[in-house]
């Protein structure tokens, strides 16, 4: 048997072995797993704004990947052509949250496993991964960090603000300090006690404090 005969036989066998029922079953499982991944993404999302489009992308990626893998595993010739076609694809969409990479790979891996015919592995693996993500997303390891921005009129007001904040918080770290004519802006990372933020009200009542702003800190603050 020559090399050409191998490719011809592979093509003929792929046509005769094609099963519409298996395709529908695999895509149905891919859809269910994709919707499950999308649900876990929604439950564990902790960013600024939830993206419904990204959630639907996870479902679509799981379906499309399953379809591609089913085609590749059934035909050697098609698999070589698919490699060449996919090599020219470039993805330029920026990833806003680090956890989005986990969900993208999860959807991609699930689609590959389903397309390869290992549906029980995809189902069991997705359930375990989803449970772990939910566990870590809902578990509070430490107090949530905040960024406190205080505008002071003078140095005395700054010192009074520092003492009040230090007494009311568990952690106080100055991130930046901007001094201009007649004003001082202090930016600090803090961790509050028992989620109590009433000290901000007391802070704004101090003499010489122009304003005080408290925002949650996601690790991407830019001054």
Residue-by-residue DSSP string for 166-196: HHHEEEEEEEEEEEETTEEEEEEEEEESTT-
Distance of CA 143 to the CA centre of its chain: 21
pLDDT given for residue 123 in this prediction: 93
pLDDT given for residue 208 in this prediction: 85
Distance of CA 188 to the CA centre of its chain: 26
Interstrand relation of 183-192 and 145-152 (parallel, antiparallel or unpaired)? antiparallel
pLDDT given for residue 16 in this prediction: 47
Tens digits of pLDDT across the chain (223 residues): 555 555 555 555 545 456 788 889 999 999 999 999 999 998 888 766 777 888 898 999 899 888 888 877 766 556 655 655 555 555 566 667 778 888 989 998 999 899 888 999 999 999 999 999 988 876 655 567 888 888 888 888 888 888 888 888 888 888 888 888 878 898 888 888 777 788 888 888 888 888 888 887 655 444 3
Assigned CATH for 145-216: 3.30.70.260
* CA distance between the termini of the chain: 69
Q: Give percent helix, percent strand, percent coil of the chain, each to the nearest 5.
A: 60, 15, 25
Residue intervals in the chain for CATH 3.30.70.260: 145-216
pTM given for the model: 0.63
DSSP state of 21: H
What are the φ and ψ backbone dihedral angles of 45, each rounded to 5 degrees? -65, 135
pLDDT given for residue 132 in this prediction: 92
**Which residue in 95, 121, 131, 114 sits closest to 34, CA to CA?**
114
């Amino acid at each position: 048997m020559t090399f050409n005969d191998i490719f011809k036989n592979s093509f003929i066998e792929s046509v005769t072995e094609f099963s519409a029922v298996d395709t529908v079953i695999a895509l149905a499982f891919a859809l269910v797993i994709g919707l499950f991944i999308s649900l876990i993404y929604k439950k564990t999302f902790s960013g600024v704004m939830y993206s419904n489009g990204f959630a639907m992308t996870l479902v679509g990626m799981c379906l499309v990947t399953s379809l591609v893998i089913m085609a590749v595993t059934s035909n050697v010739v098609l698999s070589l052509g698919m490699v060449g076609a996919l090599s020219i694809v470039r993805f330029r969409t920026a990833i806003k949250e680090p956890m989005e990479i986990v969900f993208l790979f999860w959807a991609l891996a699930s689609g590959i496993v389903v397309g390869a015919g290992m549906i029980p592995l995809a189902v069991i693996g997705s359930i375990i991964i989803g449970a772990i993500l939910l566990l870590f997303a809902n578990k509070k390891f430490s107090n949530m960090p905040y960024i406190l921005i205080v505008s002071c009129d003078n140095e005395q007001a700054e010192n009074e603000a520092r003492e009040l904040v230090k007494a009311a918080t568990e952690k106080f770290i100055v991130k930046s300090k901007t001094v201009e004519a007649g004003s001082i802006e202090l930016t600090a990372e803090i961790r509050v006690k028992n989620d109590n933020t009433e000290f901000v009200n007391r802070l704004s009542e101090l003499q010489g404090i122009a304003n005080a702003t408290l925002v949650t800190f996601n690790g991407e603050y830019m001054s």
